[in-house]
Structures are given as C-alpha cells and as structure tokens.
Amino acid sequence: MMTSEQYIESLRGLNMKLYKFGEIVENIVDDPIVRPSLNSFAKTYELAQDPQYEDLMTATSNLTGKKINRFTHLHQSTDDLIKKVKMQRLLGQKTAACFQRCVGMDAANAVYSSTYETDEACGTKYHENFVKFWTKVQDEDLAVDGAMTDVKGDRGLSPSKQADPDLFLHVVERTPEGVYVTGAKAHQTGYLNSHYVLVMPTISMRPGDEDYAISFACPTDAEGITLILGRQSCDTRKTEQFNNIDVGNKTYGGHEVLVIFDHVFIPNDMIFLNGEVQFAGMIVERFAGYHRQSYGGCKVGVGDVLIGATQLAVEMAGCAKASHVKDKIIEMNHLNETLYACGIACSSQGAPTKAGNYLIDLLLANVCKQNVTRFPYDIARLAQDLAGGLMVTQPSEADYRNPATHDYIEKYLKGVDSVPTEQRMRVLRLVENMTMGTAAVGYLPESMHGAGSPQAQRIMISRQANMEQKKALAKVIAHLDEVK
C-alpha cells in the first residue's frame, strides 16, 4: 500500500488537461484551489498506514490474498459492508469534507458483480477484463474515480433519441483493437486526485441504445480528455493572503469537474460492457445502492464535526446551558445518528451476489439516502440558528490582522471572556464553511443529488417495498378469506 506522500507524488506524473477560471492549470497537485481536495483524498492513504485504524482501513483481497486498502476492496461479508460505513464516518470526522474515494469503491463492487452476470448470460469476457484491471488497482493501491452521471440533455428522451448524440457518452467508432468514445461525465468528484476513471452507464438502456451501454476504465489523463473545474461558493478565499480564518477548513476540501471525452480510445481488455443494453440497469442500480449506503457513513462523520463546531460556538457565546439550545443540539445528534443507523442497517442485511461479493439491502440503502436528502439540511439549519448572525457578518481576517482595526475586532467580537476572540472567529467560519462555503458543496447539495436525487430513491423504495406481501399480511389479519 502507498503512503500518503507516495500517493501525492504519484499524481505528479499525470498529465491532465484542466481548465480553471478560464485558464489552463499547469500544476494541479499544488494548485491552491485543488490542493485541499487532494489532502482529503490523501487521508485515505494516511489512515491506512496507522495501526490504530488497521481493522477499518485495510482488508484482505479476495483476488490476491494480500493486505490492501479497504477502498480497493470487493466486499466479502456483511462485516465488510459495516466496516466500510464505519471507515467512511471516520474519514468524515478527520476531514470535515468529501474525501472522494468512495465513488470508485462503489463502482468497482457494482461492476464486479454485474460483469459476472453479463458473462453468464451473454458469453462475454467482461468479468475477466475487470478482475485483471482491479487486481492491478489493488496491487498498486491506485486511486479510481467512478463516473456515472451524463449531462443527459433532454430528460424526456432516451440517449439514442437526443438531438445531440454526445449528450450521453457513447461509442463513436469500433475497431478490432477497441472502441472510441465521445461525451461527457458531470459532477465528477475526486477525478483530479485519481489515476484511473471507471465509467458506467447513467441509466437503464433499451434496444436502440447499444452504443450508449458502455462501461470501461482508462487513465484519467488519457488522450482526448479535457477537464473543467466546477465553481464553488467562497472558493477564491483559498487564494487570499490571509486565509487561516476565513476559509474555515483550510486543510481539507472537495472538488467537482466536468469531464469531456473527445474520441477517446478504449482497448478491448478495458471494456466491461459494450452494447448489452439489458445489463446497463443492473450496473446503475447496484452502484446507486452502494453509494446510497456510503452516505450513511461519510455525511455522518462530517455531521459530527459540524455538531462539535456548533457546540463550541454556543459555549463561546455563553448560552450552552439554555434549555432550548441543549434541545437543538440533541436534535442534531438524533438526526445524525439516525443516518448512521440506516447505513449500518442496510449493511448488516447484505447478501452475496453470484460473483461472491456482497451487496447491501437495496431497500434500506434507498431509505438511508432518502433520509440523507433531508437530515443534513436540518442539521445545517440548526447549526446556523445556534451559531448566530456573526457567522456571516464578522470582518475578514485581513481586517483582523490590520493594526488599524485589529483591536476593535478583538474587543467587540468577544464572547465568553476566557475564550480568545480569534478562536471564536475560527469556529464561526468553520460553521459557515460547512453550511454555506466550499465544504457545504459536499455536505448539502451532494446529500441531495449525489447517488441520485430524492425521487430516484422514492422510485426504488416503491419497487422494493414488496406491497403484495404487505397486502397479504393484512388480508390474513382481517380474515378476508372468510368473506365470499
């Protein structure tokens, strides 16, 4: 397994074409806007080297028998699924941000089982291709981004019926050696910090969509790939001279990019689905289920930090003992632990796939994510309520460092006398960052839209709730068979 330092150095060898704010980025690794997200990703490597976290952060590969980073593991039991959620909560606590490596792990587990069943039905060799690729990932401890979301164009039309065929990624040329693909994947979290991208279809497919039913892996800096960095609230604070306070979370963060594939070549041995439209939906459903499980861990860990910051804020303001304040803190913890309970529940009820790796209980995973679309917003609302207006009206750090204004800020932003004013300012900026700034991207909108927007979970809950069984139970209790 790589150390965090080795991982960071390995990214310097990549040659990604990234545009940020209208200009190309020459040094992605050290770019001040991107680097906090890299630090978050690197934490997955750092903690795997720490003996106290070995049980959560590492596993034994079913492919090679070697010790590997759990983020490259193919789950072999419900215990693995539970440890995954616990690991994600730990990393959320350590970074207070999106640490980005979950998507590749969830994609790998979905593609591993789906390729096995595709081969079984179609006589293909996609599973063999994937096992070879993923063995390399495990052996070299590589970072892999999972890419599912297409830009979709007209949501009322299937991929093959779009006015512009590139609005869903698709095969544009076939050769004996492989295929060429064109299109784009949006909202890509962790792409800039990954060595490979694992691409999946974005929706279920139907006959006529064969060129869009494509899954593959390729290097993140493959020829023909162009990246455009997504804009985040307060992102340029990271570039200011005085940013120890104003950034809120200076060390860690996340990012999203738009990934454009322009006639990118994919060799045959890196293809995991190629036209079998009936299996596109299986990959989508399984990936979504795994990723919805993930949110029962990562968002909870971030929530732990936000709750802690809120508690500090009320203590620094001298109002922590007020009954309504204590009740709101209790509510924040109640909501956060409910999310965690759902993540653990869907993990504990998992079962093996035909390929042998374990799949979570899909119904409970969708219930977990449905709660994630709501509870973090409630937690953030309570955090802002308790932090108070100073969270968004306090002067800048530049003014705090300015001798002409420092003493005024020091005097008038004071809370409890025993707490330094700067400490209070730092805590309030952390709450701002997590509920409105760059970290809020990974905590709030990602909670809403990541792994599918709320209606996607409601559709899956409807499909998996087994209403016929529930009706049968009621019929027995009501003795309906006695009525002719």
Residues annotated as part of the active site: 98, 102, 189, 256, 291, 295, 298, 446
What are the tokens at 15? 């040659």
Sign of the four-CA dihedral 423, 424, 426, 431: positive
Pairwise CA distance, residues 288 & 8, whole Å: 29
How many distinct helices (H) and strands (E) make up the chain? 18, 14
Partners of 261 in beta bridges: 183, 225
Taking the C-alpha atoms of residue 8 and residue 2, their distance in angstroms, rounded to an integer, is 10
DSSP per-residue letters across 427-470: HHHHHHHHHTSHHHHHHTHHHHHTTS-HHHHHHHHHHHS-HHHH
Q: Are 180 and 22 a contacting pair, CB within 8 Å?
A: no
- Residue 144 CA to residue 100 CA, distance in Å, equals 10
User: What is the residue type of 5?
Assistant: E
Could you write out the DSSP letters of every residue in 117-149? HHHHHH---HHHHHHHHHHHHHHHT--EEEE--
Q: Mind giving me the DSSP string for 67-85?
A: EEEGGG----SHHHHHHHH
Q: What is the DSSP letter of 230?
A: P
Q: How many residues are listed for the chain in this entry? A: 484
Cα dist. 458→12, 53, 122, 367, 453 in Å?
42, 36, 32, 8, 9
- Segment holding 197, helix H or strand E: strand 196-199
- DSSP structure string for 9-28: HHHTT----EEETTEE-S-S
DSSP-derived 3-state class of residue 351: strand
Collapsing DSSP to helix, strand or coil, 189 comes out as strand
Rg of the chain on CA atoms, in Å: 24
Helix (H) or strand (E) holding 219, with range, is strand 214-219
| Token pair belonging to 262 | 């322009």
